[in-house]
Amino acid sequence: MVLIVNQQQRLWLPLRCIHRQLTELLDCSGYGGWDLGVHFVDNQRIQQLNHQYRMKDRPTDILSFPFHDANSSPESFRRQALLTEDGRNLGDIFLATPYILDHCRINNERLADHLPVLFTHGLCHLMGYDHELDEDYLAMSKREKEILQKYHHKGKVVPF
């Protein structure tokens, strides 16, 4: 189940379209049917979370909080998750809408085009990928590209 929580008021969000988009991306990642929480928040809230959990006192675009051990490798993640009672829960993703809108404006990018990239990035973090080291960055980037290629190849890109 995909649960979307809109806690920001700056932008109207097409929640049904976003839900379909997230469902498609989960399918493309091999995690169709898994639970996922997606929270749209303001810059203040994301800054609080970033400070509390990453010791970085500034806003960011996205934060991911995996339900399962964040230190497990992507290869062992699925095995570990399926062994627990609440196994099919990926975790939660928080997105700062104002921060993302500023990024889109600065880069002349549409929100509808940028969100799947952010969702995929967050999903990869929930699956155990990170980008702290160069080799980890390359592995995560490769996985993100695979998921997005499947998503676009299926022709089921959900427009806003």
Q: Delimit the domains of the chain by residue range.
A: 2-153
DSSP string, 42-89: -HHHHHHHHHHHHS--S--SEEEEESS-TTS-HHHHHHHHHTSTTTTE
**φ, ψ at 79 (rounded to 5°):** -60, -45
Q: Which fold has domain 2-153?
A: Collagenase (Catalytic Domain) (3.40.390)
**φ, ψ at 98 (rounded to 5°):** -60, -40
How confident is the model over 98-119, as a mean pLDDT?
95
Confidence of residue 77 (pLDDT cuts 50, 70, 90): low
pTM check: above 0.75: yes
pLDDT score, position 99:
97
